[in-house]
Amino acid sequence: MVHRALKHFTIHLQTFLISSQLRNNIPITGAFSISSTSNNLKNTVIKNTNNNIMLTRRTPQQVQLEIKDPVDPTALTQAKAILNELRTDSSTQQNACVPEALLTIAHRLGDIPKEGNGSTSYIVSPSQCHVAFDSLTDDERKSLMNIHTRVKFFAEAQRKSVVDMEVDIPGGKAGQSVSPCRAAGCYAPGGRYPLPSSVIMTVVTARAAGCPYVVLATPRPAPITLAAAHVAGADIVLCVGGAQAIGSMAYGVNAMLDEKGDEVIPAVPPCDVIVGPGNKWVTAAKSIVNGYCGIDMLAGPSEVLVIADKTADAVIVAADLIAQAEHDVVARAILVSDSEEIIDAVDKEVTSQVESLPEPNRSTAKEALKQSFSILCKDIDECIAMSDKLAPEHLEIQTANSQEVADRCANYGGLFIGTNCAEVLGDYGAGPNHTLPTGGTGRYTGGLSVFNFLRIRTWMRIDDTKECQEMVEDSVRMARLEGLEGHARAAEARRL
């Protein structure tokens, strides 16, 4: 899941626009463009609406992927203003955030209530997180610990897959060293739903990478979120969100002192890497601080694409599509099949199942389904080609030969093979991370992992000057071919 959170507030990194926008009077400016080769497209959409078809029917030719700017211009301007307000001298990025400024912004934007318990602090202590964990039922604590164990096991296996190494080079040695960043910043949204699973996915992964200090930021944290912070091992919890959270983690926050000079609220160190999805202000702020510190991705609304053939179970496929749609009104649920019968059956199930959801889930899912669609392909080969073109965040394979089909798919964030492998199992900690690339970016990147927190650095050493002479001569010659005389002379200085 892009971390399922994207699911709640984020903007489009690459937006999907389909003809269902026509029926909802939404301007066609997004990233799934409609081919002009279909003269009867609008009539087709109207006909489908009249027939109460939940998933707009499309052909492969009617869907094209386009790229959109991931950062909302208005949010970018607002995020810049917040980041400037956080620091006394915004002309230099060396200044840490002023605690009083952070508290003022948190009060103004509703992260922290102006009155009542906790109104004078933007930090939740480890002891408070422990109390939240103890307040859970036995079953809730067990599930939280189980998820933690599985995510930790997978992340630690990832960490072991890359190691220090060295090889011989002429006259010496060269190698790589793998080490974690000093401090990691993890963001977990706190909007429509609490997301303890996102806390575990980010914080546990940073810990498995070996980061000695982990900061978690999440606005208005629910008890289950604080309990997850305790289990995952966050060193400090900032109960702020939006651009102010990203700025606090990027630049750090000075300690707040009382009139006597005693520390009231501890300092927050600047983080080397910030990960986790959020709303459009989080995305905008991450784009601003990127370079000053590292970020994982600029993520957009969540998506699922299901490849299903005639053997698929329509009840299960529909349930998986709805599970994705309930995340956010801008989520996308896509069905790709070579069987018109299964498309009809799934559509019927979606229409029936969505009405049984409680509110606000039902309204959210129904709005998202207006922008979702099905694609009828001529065969499984075309289904795979369509999926690779869209590079969905989540890709489910529900076919007779699911592993064979999965092996042929190239572009996706996370892959879920077979009817029994529900995407929601990945959301809740089967092991692999649920913070995944959205909007087609799975064509060139993967999801959050320990590698986001690791530095793989190379080194070389020359022990025998005589043995490296051929390498010296090669360097002299190539430097002069490139017109870099200073380089050539530096190499010549190593001649015997």
pLDDT in tens, 284-297: 999 999 999 999 99
Active site residues: 393-394
Contacts of 205 by beta carbon, 8 Å cutoff, 6+ apart = 151, 155, 275, 433, 448, 449, 450, 452, 453
Q: pTM for the full model?
A: 0.85
Burial 192-212 (b: 16+ CB within 10 A, else e): bbbbbbbbbbbbbbbbbbbbe
Tokens found for residue 184? 């990691």
pLDDT digits (tens, 9 = 90+) for 389-425: 999 999 999 999 999 999 999 999 999 999 999 999 9
Other C-beta atoms closer than 10 Å to the C-beta of 255 total 13
Write out the two tokens for 39.
Answer: 């003269």
pLDDT tens-place string over residues 243-297:
999 999 999 999 998 888 888 899 999 999 999 988 899 999 999 999 999 999 9
What pLDDT is attached to residue 350?
97
For residue 471, what pLDDT band results from cuts at 50, 70 and 90? very high
Distances (CA, A) of 95 to 57, 324, 470: 54, 41, 49
Q: Return d(Cα 399, Cα 407) in angstroms, integer.
A: 13
